[in-house]
């Protein structure tokens, strides 16, 4: 944020807009243009929200007139575009200012000289957001906001989605300001500070740093004309440490910097941060020396139209994650509105932050990716909730998920995982290196969802869609047993389900829905449903919808229980795909676009309680006379032991039952096998259920499993 008593004027509100062409670029950028018959568009906003441009892919020329007295002597004037989706060309009074690119950080231009010519001005901004038609060869760093299976694939987010404002500073402006906590303990916190100062000429300045309003450092600097990069360190004694929500409180500290020229304030900035140290060891996360198993979900954009996201809506998603008992959210394929990060800081919700590279990119994107990667650190690095950066999500373009489950797509998928490629081997390394240079305090992952491959033979985090794109839901257990390293951190798994809020589906047409329309605009993957929950097997839309929700719920529950049972041996955590929908969709989310929960949300909440008791999942069907041997585990995420713990299990079938009882202690932050259930399957056909109950003082936990007894094959 910008602080002080500096002059500031927002240019929010009604702008005049028209589709851009060469004539407008030449003739419609100056003061003497009559734009009265142009369409009106509200800024901040997206042009797709306007009926006239509902199907428009841009570019659009935006114009806004304003009056402002010329800056005082010795003052400089600037215009900032706080958020542009995605590229722009900017003019003031017909004079060209520049061509900013990048949606999630501000772009600022010096307009001092132009502002001294008169008090009436016009700013003209041509905004372009070229449509993306494929998951390969992408050229804009817009992540999941374009051509992605979690949004309408024809959606275009183009527009000025954050405010445009004009403000004054002294001779030296703070162009960027970065705050990183390198390490912290009860005695001292060591903070790395960096700033980029824009000076009107060679100057001698004083840089003053304050911590919660108290001066902590003051030193002199010599500046050249133009941009100057400066770095300095700060030690804070007896800090109040920031903790994840399950480990302690979340005190926040404001570290501000002020630049003084001849003793007079010229510009100032402030960042609110938390003092803590983060470490990762083989995909197990520690904060302030305390290891924490991360139970998480993928956080998708709050809404497809970011300009429409209110602070309350952004914060609500964090509150829902806390309510569900989650420790972490992976900010999937995008950089979110600022209130998301503020809310996570305040709640102690850990964030795994994706840089907005999604699937395959053309070579021309590299330079911008490197520049924007540093901007991401400058913009977000002060947030203590962020514990990891990921440079690129699924650079192999996930051929199995996008192009079907046939042999050709599987071969392309495996080849993409194992063979070197420009995205994995070049682009991702450049982006990773750029983030690491800007932020030495956090783990930086080159790419997410890549299996072990040369030269990173141990792989990164894994995306396993067992039970959806491939295999069976139970295959996660087999893979974990055969190749334990690939389940060290599973950052995507899940299945699609139809939401209760499905007004966008013509249920009366069942079973002859417009499947193609639903695929393009609402993400529905019918070819997968045909394998997992075939629509043809259901007499009504409602019956099919309920079946999809049940399938998703059971899949999420099973994966979470398996991964929690593998706690630290070797799994360090997981993130379910996904938490929320950004628009009306048939997707993997557990909360729809209005945050109405699907049954999978309750299943996740139950499976993420601090203490759970789990049984090896019985086979879907068992033959009478078979012998079942099922392990029983108790998972304790508390920092105190569960002692003494008593686990009672009851197996029930038609006309009979059997009980087991186990007891013992489960240490802090541990998973313990407490016993085995051995049962000769009775010869009574029908349901066989297992009910588990744990008691330990005030702590209780229950669970339920079911199978069906059949006649074994001859």
Written as one string, the DSSP assignment of 658-685 is EEEEEEEEE-TTEEEEEEEEEEEPPS--
Residues 105, 86, single domain; the answer is yes
DSSP 307: G
Q: Range with the lowest mean pLDDT among 271-285, 412-426, 595-609, 687-701? A: 412-426
Residues 18, 95, single domain; the answer is yes
Question: Does 261 map to a domain?
Answer: yes
User: So what's the pLDDT on residue 396?
Assistant: 82
Domain boundary among 610, 642, 669: 610
DSSP 419: S
Question: Does 2 map to a domain?
Answer: no
Residues 304, 447, single domain; the answer is yes
What value does the mean pLDDT take over residues 671-700? Answer: 95
Q: Residue 85: name the closest of 380, 304, 374 by CA.
A: 304
Question: Does 432 map to a domain?
Answer: yes
Hey, which bits of 486-636 come out as E strands?
489-492, 573-576, 611-615, 621-623, 627-636
Residues 79, 160, single domain; the answer is yes
Bridge partners of 265, per DSSP, are 260
CB atoms within 10 A of CB 646: 13
User: So what's the pLDDT on residue 401?
Assistant: 53
Which of the two residues, 9 and 2, has the higher pLDDT score? 9
User: So what's the pLDDT on residue 419?
Assistant: 76
For 239, the 3-state DSSP assignment is: coil
Residues 498, 593, single domain; the answer is yes
List, in sequence order, the alpha helices (H) in 254-404. 311-323, 338-347, 366-380, 399-403
Domain residues for the domain of 495 are 278-610
What value does the mean pLDDT take over residues 604-615? Answer: 98
User: So what's the pLDDT on residue 6?
Assistant: 44
Bridge partners of 580, per DSSP, are 591
Residues 194, 149, single domain; the answer is no
Phi first, then psi, for residue 320 (nearest 5°) are -65, -40
pTM value is: 0.95
Question: Does 115 map to a domain?
Answer: yes
Residues 600, 618, single domain; the answer is no
Domain boundary among 273, 295, 316: 273
Residues 297, 205, single domain; the answer is no
User: So what's the pLDDT on residue 33?
Assistant: 92
Per-residue pLDDT tens over the stretch 430-485: 999 999 999 999 999 999 998 776 665 566 899 999 999 989 999 999 999 999 99
Residues 238, 369, single domain; the answer is no
Domain boundary among 586, 610, 634: 610
User: So what's the pLDDT on residue 456?
Assistant: 56
For 356, the 3-state DSSP assignment is: coil
Question: Does 1 map to a domain?
Answer: no
Q: Residue 432: name the closest of 388, 386, 464 by CA.
A: 388
* Res. 46: pLDDT tops 90: yes
Question: Does 3 map to a domain?
Answer: no
User: So what's the pLDDT on residue 450?
Assistant: 83
**Is residue 156 within 8 Å of 56, Cβ to Cβ?**
yes
CATH number at residue 52: 2.60.120.260
Residues 6+ apart with CB under 8 A from 540: 510
* Res. 510: pLDDT tops 60: yes
Residues 73, 138, single domain; the answer is yes
Confidence of residue 415 (pLDDT cuts 50, 70, 90): low
Give the number of domains in the chain: 4
Residues 203, 305, single domain; the answer is no
User: So what's the pLDDT on residue 713?
Assistant: 77
Question: Does 313 map to a domain?
Answer: yes
Question: Does 636 map to a domain?
Answer: yes
The number of C-alpha atoms within 13 Å of 77 and in the hemisphere containing its C-beta is: 21
d(CA 360, CA 424): 9
**Is residue 374 within 8 Å of 438, Cβ to Cβ?**
yes
* Res. 306: pLDDT tops 60: yes
Query: Mean pLDDT across the chain, nearest whole number?
Result: 94
Q: Are strands 386-390 and 350-354 parallel, antiparallel or unpaired?
A: parallel
The DSSP code sequence of 427-481 is: IHHHHHHHHHHH-TTSEEES-BS--S-SS-TT--SEE--BTTTBS-TTHHHHHHH
User: So what's the pLDDT on residue 8?
Assistant: 82
Per-residue pLDDT tens over the stretch 107-150: 999 999 999 999 999 999 999 999 999 988 999 999 999 999 99
Confidence of residue 420 (pLDDT cuts 50, 70, 90): confident
* Res. 205: pLDDT tops 60: yes
Residues 239, 315, single domain; the answer is no
**Is residue 577 within 8 Å of 600, Cβ to Cβ?**
no
d(CA 144, CA 136): 13
CATH number at residue 666: 2.60.40.10
CATH number at residue 384: 3.20.20.80
């Amino acid at each position: 944020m910008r602080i002080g008593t500096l002059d500031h004027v927002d240019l929010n509100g009604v702008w005049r807009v028209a589709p851009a062409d060469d004539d407008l670029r030449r003739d419609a950028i100056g003061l003497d243009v009559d734009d009265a018959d142009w369409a009106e568009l509200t800024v901040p906003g997206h042009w797709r929200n306007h009926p006239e441009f509902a199907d428009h892919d841009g570019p659009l020329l935006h114009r806004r007139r304003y009056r402002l007295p010329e800056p005082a002597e010795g003052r400089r004037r600037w215009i900032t575009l706080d958020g542009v989706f995605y590229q722009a060309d900017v003019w003031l009074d017909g004079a060209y200012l520049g061509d900013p690119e990048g949606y999630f950080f501000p772009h600022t231009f010096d307009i001092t000289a132009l502002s001294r010519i008169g008090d009436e001005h016009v700013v003209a901004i041509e905004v372009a957001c070229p449509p993306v038609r494929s998951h390969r060869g992408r050229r804009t760093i817009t992540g999941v906001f374009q051509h992605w299976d979690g949004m309408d694939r024809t959606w275009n987010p183009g527009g000025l989605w954050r405010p445009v404002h004009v403000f004054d500073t002294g001779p030296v402006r703070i162009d960027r300001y970065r705050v990183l906590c390198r390490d912290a303990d009860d005695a001292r916190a060591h903070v790395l500070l960096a700033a980029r100062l824009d000076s009107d000429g060679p100057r001698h300045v004083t840089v003053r740093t304050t911590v919660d309003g108290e001066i902590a450092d003051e030193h002199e600097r010599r500046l050249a004309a133009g941009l100057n990069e400066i770095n300095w360190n700060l030690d804070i004694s007896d800090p109040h440490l920031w903790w994840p929500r399950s480990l302690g409180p979340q005190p926040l500290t404001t570290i501000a910097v002020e630049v003084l020229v001849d003793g007079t304030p010229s510009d100032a900035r402030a960042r609110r941060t938390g003092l803590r140290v983060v470490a990762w060891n083989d995909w197990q996360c520690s904060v302030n020396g305390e290891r924490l198993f991360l139970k998480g979900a993928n956080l998708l954009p709050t809404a497809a139209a970011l300009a429409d996201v209110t602070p309350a809506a952004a914060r609500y998603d964090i509150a829902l994650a806390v309510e569900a008992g989650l420790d972490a959210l992976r900010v999937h394929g995008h950089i979110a509105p600022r209130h998301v990060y503020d809310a996570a800081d305040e709640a102690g919700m850990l964030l795994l932050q994706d840089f907005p590279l999604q699937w395959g990119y053309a070579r021309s994107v590299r330079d911008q990716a490197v520049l924007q990667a540093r901007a991401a650190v400058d913009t977000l690095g002060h947030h203590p909730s962020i514990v990891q950066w990921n440079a690129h999500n699924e650079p192999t373009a996930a051929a199995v998920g996008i192009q079907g489950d046939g042999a050709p797509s599987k071969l392309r998928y495996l080849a993409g995982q194992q063979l070197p490629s420009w995205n994995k081997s070049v682009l991702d390394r450049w982006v990773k290196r750029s983030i690491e240079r800007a932020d030495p305090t956090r783990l930086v992952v080159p790419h997410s969802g890549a299996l072990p491959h040369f030269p990173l033979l141990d792989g990164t985090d894994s995306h396993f869609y067992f039970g959806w794109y491939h295999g069976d839901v139970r295959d996660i257990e087999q893979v974990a047993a055969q190749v334990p390293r690939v389940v060290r951190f599973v950052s995507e798994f899940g299945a699609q389900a139809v939401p209760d809020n499905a007004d966008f589906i013509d249920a009366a047409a069942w079973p002859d829905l417009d499947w193609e329309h639903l695929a393009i605009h609402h993400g529905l993957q019918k070819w997968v449903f045909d394998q997992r929950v075939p629509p043809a097997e259901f007499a009504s839309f409602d019956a099919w919808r309920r079946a999809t929700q049940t399938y998703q719920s059971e899949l999420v529950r099973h994966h979470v229980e398996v991964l929690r049972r593998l706690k630290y041996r070797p799994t360090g955590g997981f993130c379910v795909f996904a938490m929320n929908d950004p628009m009306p969709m048939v997707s993997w989310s557990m909360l729809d676009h209005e945050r109405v929960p699907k049954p999978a949300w309750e299943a996740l909440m139950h499976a993420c309680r601090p203490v759970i008791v789990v049984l090896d999942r019985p086979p879907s069907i068992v033959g009478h006379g078979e012998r079942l041997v099922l392990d029983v585990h108790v998972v304790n995420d508390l920092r105190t032991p569960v002692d003494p713990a008593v686990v009672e299990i009851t197996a029930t079938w038609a006309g009979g039952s059997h009980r087991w009882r186990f007891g013992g202690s489960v240490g802090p932050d541990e998973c313990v096998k407490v016993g085995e259930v051995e049962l000769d399957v009775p010869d009574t056909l029908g349901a066989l259920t297992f009910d588990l109950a744990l008691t330990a003082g005030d702590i209780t936990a229950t669970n339920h499993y079911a199978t069906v007894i059949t006649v074994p094959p001859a």
